Chains A and B, each alone.
Chain A
Amino acid sequence: MDVILLLEQLLNGLQLGIMLFLIAAGLTLIFGVMGLINLAHGSLYMIGAFACAAVATWSGSFWLGLMASLTFAAAAGALIEVVIMRRLYHREHLDQVLATFALILICSEGTRWLFGSFPLYLDVPDIFYGAVNLFGVLQYSRYRLFIIVIGLFTALCIYLLINKTRIGMRIRAGAADRQMTAALGINISLLYTLVFALGAALAGFSGALVGSIQSVEVGMGEPVLILAFVVVVIGGIGSIRGALVGALLVGMVDTLGRGYLPQILQLLLDPVFANTLGAALSSIAIYLLMIVILVFKPKGLFPAHG
């Protein structure tokens, strides 16, 4: 097998994994701290991408767009939390699923109303055009490399925020025992709004980053949302560490599966059939992975609460 191609696929898998981690981190935090299943997380991803595309087109600056994606998604998240989510914390999961499903309808159609059905395009700044030479052998897209670097940096920031700061300590305390945390005089509802806005900002940010590779369109959040849920469930709901491991696992399995499964099957089967089967199997590989993991570890790889 071609080593250079394998290296490139590994980097692509890493890039997908990092992006998934940014989305899944918010999702798993929101679940861990508030006990809320948020299907509308994909909508926040979409809002971030649209905010970035709109502001970048208006101002001509990609960086302003990125800032806008963070701000808009965080603001939308805070608004949604204060107006709607607060009423859902004590409800059954079924109610949460439905209410956030309704939110998806509202956000998607609302965005379609504002921006129309045509996809927007988001140009990357000039310095990210073209490829960069890695290890002397591999030509790799500068922009994808930028995504990997900024994603790793953000992941590090999340780690430091959660594990080394006072606010992170409060978030962890809220996840472990919300009544006790409230009893110690911490403003729980403010903390919840903050966590939700943080998760929303991360989702919006990754939406803006990925928006330049793909197109920015209504419904772009849904496939990603389901992938992020797979990540969260594999990692163990509520666990940031689990989300990181799950995201990298899903990113790698998906990318390598699509790249290599048809080839591997060709060694065993008739080539045409192997291609068809390989394509079909690689599109469901991550779900198979999730099911296998859940069968053996029904609470994910890193169960958050004991």
Chain B
Amino acid sequence: MSEKMLNRALLSLLIIAPWLAHWIDEPYYVSLATRIAILALAGVGLNIALGLGGMVSFGHAAFFGIGGYVTGILASHALNYEPLFSGIFAMSGSTQMLFIWPIAMLVGAIAAIFIGLLSLRTSGVYFIMITLAFAQMIYYFSISWPNYGGEDGLPIYLRNSFPGVNTLQPIQFFMICCTILLITLWGVSRLQDSRFGNALKALRQNETRVAAVGISPLGIKLAAFVISAMITALAGSLFADLNRFVSPTMFSWHTSGQIMIFVILGGIGRLYGPVAGAIMFILCEALLGSWTEYWQFFLGLLLLWVVLFARGGLIGLLCGDKAHD
């Protein structure tokens, strides 16, 4: 099977299945598909750093959670009629997705610039561990800081709104998430083949050579890290709206590991890898979860098998080796 055909099949599956579920009135499956679309989006974000740039970030939960908390905090201020800041920079909360998303991405980007500048000084294992440390820092901070729910998390009483769409209806919210995923996939496919994307891929292979032809590695890597974080933050914002709840779990290292799993299960460095990975992960979770309480045990076995024996992930298994890029 060619990779292109598989990609199309995956996307059609992701789009058609929830409509079928909607048609036979099974909203649970619609929200399952929404989860897949959102988590795939987070994976697409991570894949830019991990797959294209070779930066093994074990702290993307930080950006996922930041997106979630920005959403939760803005919405809670708007719903309680409390201004977010007063004084010169007066700002009130908001329940408009179109306003919340850019803020979530902006805050994610600021965090990523800060984390990236410090982390990119290191490499290899140290990079993995320092990104993990930043995420853990935010995790423990969110637990011990009592405003905005602390350990208990912060509920969003009403899903935020989007002009002309009834976001409370599962299928309509799904369409929003799915559209964002499609736009992002298109954007990333353009990014991959751009000058910037080529420089990034070259950096993954040999940093010294890239530096020798006159491209500064740090700038490219930092930009990729920030873009990657912004996409993951956007996914976090949507995830908060899906659950109408944000909690410190979004920052936990299990979340980082999970986003990484989507990328690897699907096939690292492939555009549609995270989509395939998220579909497989969530379906496994739903199927195994209905069969046994200990589904994570079998998920672990599956993941171990993929890492040890099926190195190209799901797409690699079906389509063979990746063409050299």
Cα distance A87–B118 in the bound complex, in angstroms: 33
Are B308 and A226 in contact (CB-based, < 8 A)?
Answer: no
Are A113 and B294 in contact (CB-based, < 8 A)?
Answer: yes
Cα distance A294–B128 in the bound complex, in angstroms: 12
Bitwise, B115-148 to A at CB < 8 A (1) or not (0) is 0001001101110111011101100110111100
- Asked if B164 is at the interface of the complex by the 8 Å CB criterion, the answer is no
Cα distance A288–B137 in the bound complex, in angstroms: 8
Are B136 and A287 in contact (CB-based, < 8 A)?
Answer: yes
Residues of B contacting A88 in the complex (Cβ-Cβ under 8 angstroms): 308
Q: Among the listed stretches A67-75, A163-171, A181-189, A277-285, which one makes contact with chain B, having 4 or more residues with CB under 8 Å of it? A: A277-285
- Asked if A105 is at the interface of the complex by the 8 Å CB criterion, the answer is yes
Are B143 and A283 in contact (CB-based, < 8 A)?
Answer: yes
Q: Among the listed stretches A7-15, A52-60, A92-100, A146-154, which one makes contact with chain B, having 4 or more residues with CB under 8 Å of it? A: A92-100
Residue of A nearest to B302 (CB): A102
A95 with B307, Cβ < 8 A, contacts A110-B297, A291-B118 known: yes
Cα distance A229–B133 in the bound complex, in angstroms: 9
Question: Which secondary structure dominates where chain A touches chain B?
Answer: helix
Are A105 and B58 in contact (CB-based, < 8 A)?
Answer: no
Are A108 and B126 in contact (CB-based, < 8 A)?
Answer: no
- Asked if A134 is at the interface of the complex by the 8 Å CB criterion, the answer is no
Cα distance A98–B128 in the bound complex, in angstroms: 12
- Asked if B229 is at the interface of the complex by the 8 Å CB criterion, the answer is no
Q: Which of A227-253 contact B (CB under 8 A)?
A: 229-230, 233, 237
Q: Which of A93, A226, A233, A287 contacts B56 (CB 8 A)?
A: A93
Residue of A nearest to B117 (CB): A295
Chain B, interface residues (CB within 8 Å), range = 35 or more
Q: Which of A73-123 contact B (CB under 8 A)?
A: 84, 87-88, 93-95, 97-99, 101-106, 108-110, 112-113
Residues of B contacting A106 in the complex (Cβ-Cβ under 8 angstroms): 297, 300-301, 304
Question: Which secondary structure dominates where chain B touches chain A?
Answer: helix
- Asked if A200 is at the interface of the complex by the 8 Å CB criterion, the answer is no
Are B300 and A294 in contact (CB-based, < 8 A)?
Answer: no
- Asked if B102 is at the interface of the complex by the 8 Å CB criterion, the answer is no
Q: Which of the listed residues B134, B301, B307 has the most CB atoms from chain A within 10 Å of its own CB? A: B307
Other than the given A37-B125, A109-B295, A109-B296, 18 more pairs (CB < 8 A) read A84-B304, A88-B308, A95-B311, A98-B303, A102-B304, A103-B300, A105-B300, A105-B303, A106-B301, A106-B304, A110-B294, A230-B133, A280-B140, A290-B133, A291-B130, A291-B134, A291-B137, A294-B118
Q: Which of A95, A97, A295, A298 contacts B58 (CB 8 A)?
A: A97
A97 with B56, Cβ < 8 A, contacts A290-B130, A294-B126 known: yes
- Asked if B261 is at the interface of the complex by the 8 Å CB criterion, the answer is yes
- Asked if A140 is at the interface of the complex by the 8 Å CB criterion, the answer is no
- Asked if A260 is at the interface of the complex by the 8 Å CB criterion, the answer is no
Rounded to whole Å, the gap between the CB of A292 and the closest CB of chain B is 10
Residues of A contacting B303 in the complex (Cβ-Cβ under 8 angstroms): 98-99, 101-102, 105
Residues of B contacting A230 in the complex (Cβ-Cβ under 8 angstroms): 129, 133
Residues of B contacting A104 in the complex (Cβ-Cβ under 8 angstroms): 300
